[in-house]
Structure 1
Amino acid sequence: MKILLLGEYSRLHNSLKEGLQKLGHDVTILGFKDGFKAYPVDFPIEKKWDNGLLKKIKVGVLRVTGFDISSYLTYKQFEKYQHHCNDFDVVQLINENTFFCDYTYEKKILDYLFQHNKKVFLLATGDDYLYVNYYFNHPDNPSVVQPYLAEKIEDKHFSNVLKFRTTPFKKLHHYLYQNIQGVIATDIDYHIPLQNHPKYLGLLPSPINLDKFPKNEMEIKDTIVIFHGINRESYFKKGNDFFKKALDSIKAKHASQIEILVAENVPYKKYINLYDQAHIVLDQLYGHDQGSNALEAMAKGKVVFTNASNIFEQHYQLKEKVAINALPDVDYLVNQLSFLIENPSEIIAIGKRARIFIEKEHDYLRIAEKYTNVWTKIEK
């Protein structure tokens, strides 16, 4: 098949592309590189007028006229590439707002894609209309909405989430669902709001290219190394404030037994190597299931503090922990870390189970085959 993957979050589409290519398909990625993470993209689109003085001018023009310069410039970049976006058997959008445009220009791009390709599918990953509204209506369910409701995040820093509660993005949602062949969830957090929706095609776990993560069991010698990777833009959304406080306590409690590594806003290629020497990786809170960063760390046999709730364990019928379910509770995090530091054999055991879990549930070749099965069974 000839396949066009649009957009990139946390290397999901790159891993899927690699699996699909191994199965003999022709695959292209077009879109943003996911900010500072700088993932590979065949046809890259850049965010224009998105910082400094130009951003201030853009915001001023938007307030006065309603015209979004960044959206217009993104659309013009797509126009440059659009002759590469024709006649695909399958097009897959990574999100309801793949191009980060306002309603007008996002719809213009989508119109072209729908008119010039056979089938278009949508991924439920990242924030979208159904996800955001579901979790605002269910605030006790762990999600990125919780730190916002706790007033840790200002509206201006939560605009990429809040926009999905506005009328234009509701319109965009309905337009998309009228034209796509179906929507696929990439983990349990996105699966929950989609249950029983007529366009829902099911949950396909994020693919992990195990060829890039050779099996390598951990060894613990003198100290236990803890890695904390920070994306400053999503500091509170990921629960980094809780991790920071927990690490401060752990440093005081186990100073001679641990080493702490902290990395902030580093490109993907550097990031995945930074935690090679770590035994424990602190990833994120506020959810049920893991994102790609946690999955890749688990593939390396690390003990990851991430989303791994009872719902996740039940879904995969797990009887033993493959990750530590991280909660927004400093005392809980300190207790979990302390237990592992005091029982290093448990670190080794969980790390082994984490690797086995990724091999069983997230192998990129198996997941790529599942995608092709879903795509081909749906009629245009």
Structure 2
Amino acid sequence: MKILLVGEYSRLHNSLKEGLEQLNHDVTIVATYDGFKKYSVDILIKKKYQNGIKRKIKNALYLFFGYDLESHNIKKQIIGHRSKLCNYDIVQFINEASFGCTPKIEKTIFDLITSWNKNVFLLSCGTDYISVSYADENKFRYSILTPYKNGIDKNHISAYGLKYLTPKFKALHTHIYKTIKGVIASDIDYHIPLKKHPKYLGLIPNPINTDLLKFKSPKIKDKVIIFHGINAHNYFKKGNNIFENALAIVNKDYSDRIKIITVTSLPYSEYIKAYDEAHILLDQVYAYDQGYNALEAMAKGKVVFTGAEQEWLDYYNIKEDTIAINALPDAKAVAQKLIWLINNPEKISEISRNARQFIENQHHYISSAKQYLNLWNKTL
């Protein structure tokens, strides 16, 4: 089949593409770069108004006239690539706003691409109307909105996806759901809000290309190495403040037994190398399941503090603290788990092996690609 993957988050579509290509399908990704991460894209849609004087002009025009230069620039590029974006058997959008444009332009781009193709699907793998609404209604015990609702984060409000609750984005959501064949969730955090939706097709775990991620059995000599990767824009949303407080607690009594590596907003190619020597990786707090950073680190044999809530344990029928460590929004609780691992290094080796096996069993990119193909074909 000829498949078009629209948009890219955290390398999801790249890994899916690699799996589909192993199964002899023709796959194209059209996307902008995912922020500073710069994942590979076949048809790159360039953002031209992100820095310097161009950004200032763009912001001024939007402020005074409601005209978004970047969105119109992206739409123009999509139209220019029409010959490369038509006649696909399957099209999958990664989000309701795959290009980060205004709702009006996102609708236009969605309508153009769907008019040039057939059989359109949607992923729920990041903030969107349904997931943010569910969190906003406090249906989770805690969620990505918790730091915002608690008033902790006052500087990066855009990171919480609250735009999806505005009338224009809600209208975009309604329009897209009328057109798509169905929506697929990538993990438990998106599966739970969608469970009763008539367009929901089910959960397919994030595809991980284990061929590119070599397992490294942890060898602990004198110190346990803890890696903390910070995305400055998502600092509170990811719970980095909780991790830093937990590390401060641990460092008081265990400074001679640990080494802490902290990096901030690295491009993907640098980030994934930066934690190579680590035994433990601190990923995120406000989640029920693992995102891409966690899954790739688990594939490499790291003990990851991330979303591993009871709903995830139940879904995969596994026991607590055997594959990943559930990072609660409580610095003392996180510190206690770190201390437990420091005092029981054999557990680090055990969880490391289990984590790799779990990725191979549940997230292997070719197995995941087969699940997508089966679900797409079943829906047509």
Alpha-carbon distance in 1 for matches of 2:19, 2:159: 34
* 1:135–1:141 Cα contact (<8 Å) kept: no
* 1:139–1:145 Cα contact (<8 Å) kept: no
What SS does the aligned partner of 2:211 have?
helix
CA offsets 1:118-145 (integer angstroms, 9 cap, x no match): 2110000111001111110026532211
What SS does the aligned partner of 1:249 have?
helix
Q: Which residue number in structure 1 is paired with residue 363 of structure 2?
A: 362
Instruction: Give how far 1:178 is off.
Output: 0.6
What SS does the aligned partner of 1:212 have?
coil
Gap change, CA 1:153 and 1:345, over 3 Å in 2: same
Q: Which residue number in structure 2 is paired with residue 16 of structure 1?
A: 16
Instruction: Give how far 1:107 is off.
Output: 1.3
Gap change, CA 1:187 and 1:6, over 3 Å in 2: same
Which amino acid is 1:343 matched to? Answer: N
Instruction: Give how far 1:269 is off.
Output: 1.1
Which residues of structure 1 form unaligned runs of 5+? Answer: none
Matched, 1:377 2:357: no
Which amino acid is 1:354 matched to? Answer: A
Alpha-carbon distance in 2 for matches of 1:330, 1:155: 22
CA offsets 1:180-211 (integer angstroms, 9 cap, x no match): 11000000000111111110000000000111
Q: Which residue number in structure 1 is paired with residue 144 of structure 2?
A: 144
For normalisation by structure 1, the TM-score amounts to: 0.97
Alpha-carbon distance in 2 for matches of 1:38, 1:59: 23
CA offsets 1:245-271 (integer angstroms, 9 cap, x no match): 111222222111111111111111111
* 1:127–1:161 Cα contact (<8 Å) kept: yes
Alpha-carbon distance in 2 for matches of 1:103, 1:256: 53
What SS does the aligned partner of 1:210 have?
coil
- Decide which moves more: 267-276 or 173-182: 267-276
Q: Which residue number in structure 1 is paired with residue 85 of structure 2?
A: 85
Q: Which residue number in structure 1 is paired with residue 331 of structure 2?
A: 330
RMSD, aligned CA:
1.3
Instruction: Give how far 1:73 is off.
Output: 1.1
For normalisation by structure 2, the TM-score amounts to: 0.97
* 2:122–2:183 Cα contact (<8 Å) kept: yes
Matched, 1:346 2:342: no
* 2:159–2:237 Cα contact (<8 Å) kept: no
| Percent pairwise identity | 49
Which residues of structure 2 form unaligned runs of 5+? Answer: none
Alpha-carbon distance in 2 for matches of 1:181, 1:140: 28
* 1:142–1:288 Cα contact (<8 Å) kept: no
What SS does the aligned partner of 2:120 have?
strand
Alpha-carbon distance in 2 for matches of 1:294, 1:353: 14
Q: Which residue number in structure 2 is paired with residue 203 of structure 1?
A: 203
CA offsets 1:91-137 (integer angstroms, 9 cap, x no match): 11000000111122111111111111121100001110011111100
* 2:304–2:324 Cα contact (<8 Å) kept: yes
Matched, 1:311 2:332: no
Alpha-carbon distance in 1 for matches of 2:310, 2:52: 44
Matched, 1:286 2:294: no
